[in-house]
Amino acid sequence: MKKIIIMIILASVAWFAYQEFSAPPSAGKSKSRPIANVVVAKAAMEPVRDEVEALGTSKAYESITVTPKVTEVATQINFNDGDSVEKGRLLVQLQDREQLARVTVAKVRVSDHQRELERIRSLVTSQTIAELERDRLLTLIDTAKAELVQAQSALNDRKIIAPFNGRLGLRQISVGSLVSPGTIITTLDDISIIKLDFSVPERFLQSLAIGKNVEATAVAFPDELFSGRVVSIDSRVNPTTRAVTVRAEIPNTEHRLLPGMLMKVKLIKQSREALILPESAIIPIQGRHYVYLVNEEDVVIKREVALGLRKRGWVEVLKGVELGEQVVIRGILKVRPGDKVKVQFSERFSFLEEAKEGPTA
């Protein structure tokens, strides 16, 4: 009995539902869709760049650790921490009295042999003295000159001189310190130009070339962009990382960048003109991409597009949109193809803002 009652109720509900949906709509119930407001942007040609991003480490253009060649006591230090020095400047003087004496002795010996040679030169010509004596004196002169060069070299080793222009690091010794080969006195770096080494995956080898532009940023200067160019590419690919090391040089006339800094690098592979749209205009559906266009009658048209390069805030359109066409970038969820809309134009500077906000209803 209960089953029969339930079946009757269900049949009644179905009948009334049929009558409701099959009946023509009354004049009081018909309503037209309101005209939605949308924001549009015109498809425009803009310069775009194909880039490779990487992390690099800065290095000085020239860099050495200043150390002595000999074991000796430091008698004079002619620099302070962080000094900028020119090539040839004396940095440290080591004890050299013994070497000065040896140089003096060698000079005296050379002069003595040369005077003796001058005295016997005329006698050799007149054959009063055998040529053997002249040859002996010539040998003594050559030997004395070699000893003078050796003594002078030992004397020069007691002077530590800057081999190039640069900035010194911290001083590690004091006057009176006994230094020997390997003792670190200070560092010297030429940072007028910074070398920046970074790794690029091997799949980009074809687009690498000497002279390509790079842009780099450092944590210490987040709002500043440092520009340079590629000067060399390693001849080998790292078999572990499958990447090749690229070296760029960045002018550093103000000496703001220092060796050892971690920098974010953008290698500019190619720069070109492309048709771009705000990223918020793209509607992804099942692996395809669409946009809503607004024609001259302010009617929405749906169109499939092919995309190219994508960056944060904008996207390159390869096919599907013509230059100057109006594309909906805000209000996408409020409209459907065929709807008439009220159009408001977006400012060009809002492209990046559109990407952050995304499509709005």
Rounded average pLDDT per 10-residue block, the chain, 361 residues:
53 44 43 75 79 90 93 93 92 92 90 80 61 78 90 92 93 93 94 93 87 91 91 92 93 91 88 81 87 86 85 82 85 84 65 41 33
Residue 267 to residue 288: CA distance in whole angstroms: 30
187 token code pair:
């560092």
- pLDDT for 34 equals 77
- pLDDT for 36 equals 80
- pLDDT for 335 equals 82
- pLDDT for 116 equals 80
- pLDDT for 164 equals 93
Which residues, other chains included, contact 312 with Cβ-Cβ below 8 Å and sequence gap of 6+?
A: 279, 352, 355
- pLDDT for 75 equals 93
Query: Are 82 and 150 contacting, i.e. CB atoms less than 8 angstroms apart?
Result: no
SS (H, E, C) the chain: CHHHHHHHHHHHHHHHHHHHHHCCCCCCCCCCCCCEEEEEEECEEEEEEEEEEEEEEEEEEEEEEECCCCCEEEEEECCCCCCEECCCCEEEEECCHHHHHHHHHHHHHHHHHHHHHHHHHHHHHCCCCCHHHHHHHHHHHHHHHHHHHHHHHHHHCCEEECCCCEEECCCCCCCCCEECCCCCCEEEEEEEEEEEEEEEEHHHHHHCCCCCEEEEEECCEEEEEEEEEEEEEEEEEECCCCEEEEEEEEECCCCCCCCCCEEEEEEEEEEEEEEEEEHHHCEEECCEEEEEEECCCCEEEEEEEEEEEEECCEEEEEECCCCCCEEEEECHHHCCCCCEEEEEECCHHHHHHHHHHCCCC
Residue 43 to residue 321: CA distance in whole angstroms: 7
- pLDDT for 4 equals 54
- pLDDT for 127 equals 59
284 token code pair:
């992804």
Query: Are 281 and 357 contacting, i.e. CB atoms less than 8 angstroms apart?
Result: no
- pLDDT for 150 equals 92
288 token code pair:
């395809």
304 token code pair:
């499939």
Please choose, from the candidates 352, 353, 329, the residue with its C-alpha nearest in 3D space to the C-alpha of residue 341: 329
Q: What is this structure's pTM?
A: 0.62
Q: Taking the chain, what is the end-to-end CA distance rounded to the nearest angstrom? A: 53
C-alpha dihedral sign at 298, 304, 308, 314: positive
